[in-house]
Amino acid sequence: MRWSDFPKWGKWAADWAAQYHAGLRDRPVRAQTKPGEVLAALPASPPDAPQPIEDVIADFERIVVPGITHWQHPRFFAYFPSNASPAAVLADNLVTAMAPQCMLWQTSPAATEMETRMMDWLRQGLGLPDGFAGVIQDSASSATLAAVLVMRERALNWDGNAHGLPGQKPLRVYCSDEVHTSVDRAIWVAGIGQANLVRIPTQGPLRSMNVAALETQIQADLDAGYLPAGIVACVGGTGTGACDDIAATCTVARKYGLYTHVDAAWAGSAMICPEYRSLWAGVDQADSIVFNPHKWLGTQFDLSAHFVKSPEALTQTLAIQPEYLKTHGADGIINYSEWSVPLGRRFRALKLWFLIRAYGLDGLRQMIRNHVTWAQALAEKLRTVPDMEIVTDPVLSLFTFRWVPTGRDADQATLDLLTAINDDGRIYLTQTRTQGKLVIRFQAGQFDCTEDDINTAFDVITETAAKLKDA
């Protein structure tokens, strides 16, 4: 295939994308293929001779599409959303065509300077103060790893990269049981060790980290010869939407000189709506924050917004400047590869620019408000259904429930209900465990979701439960 062929097939791809999205409600949300089915359909050896693009496309539709779980389906209520608005997709198509590697200012000045401006647009949209600077990471996992590395270096007086951890006091990092497992991985990669990630019990309706227990643990660790380094707090935890008391957590952190990182990967998008900001009150006191516009805001994966109060601490931890990465004759520039673990960087800011301009913050706010309103209404309807138990009340658009028919084990009944719902195909849900109970998670957040889609979810849940009860 040559560039002279591209207009024909590029138009085909654009038409296919529009038809795909228009017809998503007619497809089952979750892939219906069996394990190994796609692998068996792919030749074991690569072709030596070129093959017509028509054949490749035909195989794409025959093999690939049936094996895709449709994350853009308006009734995708599992995990968290991974949205792809048309405007952001268009921007990414342009980036893919140009294929720039944006590791340094000089390797694409527009990418660097647009990233600076877009992150400031987001900062303003979230209501964060001027003191925060932002960088686009690929995922919240990378931002959290960067934060943990900064915690480590600060606690070791910037000596960890130079001399490693042997001979140092054991570091301690604190979080609740509700944080994402990306925190565990960050602890592993940073060399701190799983045993030194200290889980603090939670309390209250938002399952917040017990701040009194946190301070008690920090003091006990100091007395035992450990070196407390930092705290990872969460806003909108993955399982049930747990939210820590950020202001109180940051107060403890300041008292003991610890770094505080706030993981708001999902819920952070909702903070463009001022009425939801009480969930992270005090966030202006944190050292760093991460949230994912590629979840609820409308840019497709990958685009994670990482805000820091001290870019100098981040670059002191991560920056390496061999001669071939230096930009001579240009003062005051930013090389965002010095703010990230990877050296290579995609031009992610363009899709954020297209998104915000195409829909405006007000349009994005209305989408989020609708999802919250509809999800909370669904929770209240399910609360009135016999044998349905709302286990955790809605946090924004996320709540959990379970099915407790008389005479059956509730965990097994709930799992049976979830399996039957997902096999039905009209909606897609996932499970978690909280308060010792197996529960079903529901969250609304897909870009094109409507109130009718939420009503369909109610119908599927209740109809499926009725069928299982009668079986």
Domain count, the chain: 1
Q: Would 222 be classed as within a structural domain?
A: yes
Separation of CA 182 from chain center: 10
Nearest to 416 by CA among 436, 438, 441: 438
Query: Is 459 within the bounds of a domain?
Result: no
* SS3 label, residue 233: strand
Q: Does residue 159 form part of some domain? A: yes
Give the domain range for residue 317. 101-346
Contact 291, 268 (CB under 8 A): yes
* Rounded distance between C-alpha atoms, residue 441 and residue 461, angstroms: 12
Is 326 within 8 Å of 335 (Cβ atoms)?
A: no
Going residue by residue through the chain, which has 471 residues, state the pLDDT in tens, using 9 for 90 and above: 899 999 999 999 999 999 999 999 999 999 999 999 999 999 999 999 999 999 999 999 999 999 999 999 999 999 998 999 999 999 999 999 988 888 888 888 899 999 999 999 999 999 999 999 999 999 999 999 999 999 999 999 999 999 999 989 999 999 999 998 899 999 999 999 999 999 999 999 999 999 999 999 999 999 999 999 999 999 999 999 999 999 999 999 999 999 999 999 999 999 999 999 999 999 999 999 999 999 999 999 999 999 999 999 999 999 877 665 666 555 678 889 889 998 889 999 999 999 999 999 999 999 999 999 999 999 999 999 999 999 999 999 999 999 999 999 999 999 999 999 999 999 999 999 998 999 999 999 999 999 999 999 999 999 999 999 887
Closest CA to 442 of 387, 376, 388: 376
Q: Are 377 and 450 in contact (CB under 8 A)?
A: no
Residue 231 lies in a domain: yes
Q: Quick one: pLDDT at residue 329? A: 53
Locate all alpha helices (DSSP H) within 51-159, ordered by sequence: 53-59, 86-98, 109-126, 140-155
Answer left, alpha or beta for residue 207, where phi above 0 means left and psi between -120 and 50 means alpha: left
Pairing between β-strand 304-308 and β-strand 388-395 as defined by DSSP bridges: unpaired
| Domain membership flag for residue 471 | no
The answer to whether residues 465 and 418 touch, using CB atoms and an 8 Å cutoff, is no
**Tokens for 454?**
């939420």
Tell me which residue has tokens 């998503």: 24
H/E stretch holding 411 reads helix 410-424
Q: What backbone torsions phi and psi does residue 171 show, to the nearest 5 degrees?
A: -80, 155
**pLDDT at residue number 8:** 95
- pLDDT number for residue 400: 97
User: E strands, 185-321, where?
Assistant: 197-200, 202-203, 208-209, 227-234, 259-263, 288-291, 304-308
Neighbour count for residue 41 (Cβ, 10 Å) = 14
Quote the pLDDT of residue 435: 87
Q: Is 325 exposed, middle or buried (0-12, 13-18, 19+ CB in 10 A)?
A: middle
Q: Around Cβ 301, how many Cβ atoms within 10 Å?
A: 15
- CA angle (288, 294, 295) in 5-degree steps: 90
Dump the DSSP string for 112-142.
HHHHHHHHHHHHHHHT--TT-EEEEES-HHH
* Residue 106: per-residue pLDDT: 82
Q: Are 210 and 238 in contact (CB under 8 A)?
A: no
Residue 114 and residue 117: Cα distance in Å, rounded? Answer: 5
In a domain, 369, yes or no: no
Q: Give the span between the Cα atoms of 18 and 250, in whole angstroms.
A: 46
189, part of any domain: yes
From residue 323, give the alpha-carbon distance in Å to each of 299, 320, 326. Answer: 35, 10, 5
Residue 331 lies in a domain: yes
164: domain CATH number is 3.40.640.10
Instruction: Report pLDDT for 326.
Output: 65
